[in-house]
Structure 1
Amino acid sequence: MATQTGIEWTEQTWNPITGCTKVSPGCKHCYAETMAKRLQAMGANGYENGFAVSLHPERLGQPLQRSKPTTYFVNSMSDLFHEEVPFSFIDSVMSVIERCPQHIFQILTKRAERMAEYGATRDIPKNAWMGVSVEDKKYGLPRIDVLRTVPAATRFLSVEPLLEDLGTFDLDGIHWVIVGGESGAKARPMKAEWALNVKDQCLAAGVPFFFKQWGNWGADGVRRSKKKNGRELSGRNWDMIPTVQLR
């Protein structure tokens, strides 16, 4: 079933696909892989294959059962545009999204080129927010240019885990930016100036900025629990989100 989530920028997760493979440095300490292996060991339904890419058509109808407007993170445990997911199955996911105009569906990928290939021949539902991960300059920044070509009403960036200073980059055609540090036993630190650089560019461009977390390294460079490090950047929480009209 779709589940409640502790992810600060969404309300529920919907996983009609599980499993993935690593494609860039942001994947190194993948939380979903760790969780999938744990769920497999527990005998959880849907994780019999561990973190191998698996389609779950029986889960497609879950958002249709909820009338209350809800924000869904699609495939928190996978990547909708993974090479092993056929476009025909993505069509089925998009069909459900189109049939649920009361909901927002946030779709995040590290496979921007395949997202763009899909969008080149299909209409993207207005309530499908399309996003890419941007963890560094080499792998992350090029995804932004590809995302701009996707015909989505709302395009967003998940700058998490932020692994280096991104320098100056173009936010034209981008409607939302999320920033966060890495959490977990092997988390890599995020420097305050890296996050502030992204924030300042968002504010200058009029793009809503959301600071998700410091993770396991604080603004002072000290390692401690994610909860103790909190979510403040420049002395406040940044919870800006796009304002959209779904209907």
Structure 2
Amino acid sequence: MTTVSKIEWTERTWNPTVGCTKVSPGCKHCYAEGMAARLQAMRTPGYENGFVLTLLPQRLDDPLRRRVPTTYFVNSMSDLFHEAVPFDYIAQVFDTIGRAHWHTFQILTKRADRMAAFFQGRAAPRNAWLGVSVEDRHYGVPRIDHLRQVPAAIRFLSVEPLLEDVGGLELAGIDWVIVGGESGPKARPMRQEWVDAIRAQCEAAGVAFFFKQWGGWGADGVKRAKKHNGRELHGRTWDQMPAAAVGA
């Protein structure tokens, strides 16, 4: 089963695993955890264990059944490189990705070291975009060096939720940067100057920049509903995508 996504930078989600555990401040208000609880209460197949890490091998072939070329966010409800996911299962996921060559797959992790370890001696399919979360300096920024070790056609950063000024970023080997603020009733604020600094670095390095959302706090520093804060930065939307396509 794959699902249409409301995430601005993808089209559908595919979750061959569900569930996760928290590893850094970016996980504090995990949207997937709350959603898993709701899906469990609704008796949705796959969520019988709630947010406990669960492998769902029955979903491995789902993208092969969809013939329309699609961009998939892999494991929106989990982390493919979680310590409880065996490497042989991760290999099965990437086998599907390689066979479904007409699709594009976006894989995002906070376990960047484990992702780098998995790809030692392995090549990533060209239709797999690999990324890491970068929410702060202490936990997020060091993941970028691990990502650079991965032989991927597209490497990207999800700087969301942006929790502080992340300083100077080494963007060599990075193709795409997504920035966004946190949503939800307990959202932590994101300041415009933090976003501006990242956008300027992307422009200088020739890296595509995508501004996803303000989240629960507006550019003016006022907390309000996400829909009222919008996606504009300095009066425009920033929807740049990496200059690559499947099969390039």
CA distance in 1, matches of 2:11, 2:198: 24
- Runs of 4+ that moved beyond 3 A: none
Aligned to 2:17: 17
Amino acid at match of 2:203: L
CA distance in 1, matches of 2:245, 2:32: 31
SS in 2 for 1:50: coil
Question: Is residue 2:225 matched to residue 1:221?
Answer: no
> Gapped runs of 5+ residues in structure 2?
none
Aligned to 1:142: 142
SS in 2 for 1:114: helix
Question: TM-score, normalization: structure 1?
Answer: 0.99
Give the deviation of 1:187 after TM superposition: 0.4
CA distance in 2, matches of 1:97, 1:245: 15
Give the deviation of 1:246 after TM superposition: 2.1
Aligned to 2:66: 66
CA distance in 2, matches of 1:5, 1:120: 31
Aligned to 2:162: 162
Aligned-residue CA RMSD (Å) = 0.6
Deviations 1:55-92 (A, max 9, x none): 00000111001111100000000000000000110011
CA distance in 1, matches of 2:4, 2:185: 24
Aligned to 1:232: 232
CA distance in 2, matches of 1:158, 1:58: 29
CA distance in 2, matches of 1:168, 1:68: 40
SS in 1 for 2:178: strand
CA distance in 2, matches of 1:7, 1:245: 19
Q: How many residues align?
A: 247
Question: TM-score, normalization: structure 2?
Answer: 0.99
Give the deviation of 1:245 after TM superposition: 3.5
CA distance in 2, matches of 1:60, 1:220: 44
Residue identity (%): 67
Deviations 1:74-123 (A, max 9, x none): 00000000000001100110000000111110000000000000011211
Aligned to 1:152: 152
SS in 2 for 1:203: helix
CA distance in 2, matches of 1:57, 1:32: 20
CA distance in 2, matches of 1:245, 1:55: 29
> Gapped runs of 5+ residues in structure 1?
none
CA distance in 2, matches of 1:36, 1:121: 35
Aligned to 1:89: 89
Question: Is residue 2:216 matched to residue 1:210?
Answer: no
CA distance in 1, matches of 2:235, 2:131: 27
